[in-house]
Structures are given as structure tokens and as C-alpha cells.
Amino acid sequence: MPKFAVEIPIDLKEIMSKHSEINWNKIISDTLWSYAKKIKLLDTITSKSRLTEQDINAIDHAIKANLLNKYQKA
């Protein structure tokens, strides 16, 4: 199985070191799989989309403007 290295904060390393009973490799692998499955689903959904980058930006702007308007009134 391929390996790769990641940099983690010292604080996190200290916590992980204190809990050697935990299989950190499995937790990291499971987390990466979970995220990868979400990305794969998004790729599947968007592969059939005919929206352009401009369309997406326009929709994004409209949604954010409506949310801003809604919460400014509240």
C-alpha cells in the first residue's frame, strides 16, 4: 500500500503520542475515504452539468445576496 506523509501541529502530535492505543492510521485512512467518497459523488453529479463557471458564480452571488438581505432584516 502506498504511503504519504503529512505535517501536523506539535500539539496534535503530543495528543497522538499519549494515546498509542488508538490506530491513528486507520482513523486517518477512514477520514480520507469519507472525504474522497463525497468528492466522487460531487464529481458524478457535476459531470452531467451544463452550467458554466459564470453561471455558478452568478448563482453563488444571488444566494449570498439573498442570505445577506434576509439576515440583515432579522
Whether 40 is covered by a domain: the verdict is: yes
Whether 3 is covered by a domain: the verdict is: no
**Residue-range definition of the domain harbouring residue 59:** 10-73
Whether 30 is covered by a domain: the verdict is: yes
Whether 2 is covered by a domain: the verdict is: no
pTM of the model: 0.64
How many Å separate Cα 15 from the centre of its chain? 23
Q: pLDDT tens digits for 32-56?
A: 999 999 999 999 998 988 999 999 9
pLDDT given at position 72 = 92
Whether 63 is covered by a domain: the verdict is: yes
Mean pLDDT of 57-73: 94
Q: Give, for 42, the enclosing helix (H) or strand (E).
A: helix 24-46
pLDDT given at position 73 = 79
User: Rounded to whole angstroms, how far apart are CA atoms 53 and 38?
Assistant: 21
Whether 4 is covered by a domain: the verdict is: no
Per-residue pLDDT at 25 exceeds 90: yes
User: Rounded to whole angstroms, how far apart are CA atoms 16 and 21?
Assistant: 9
Q: How many domains does the chain have?
A: 1
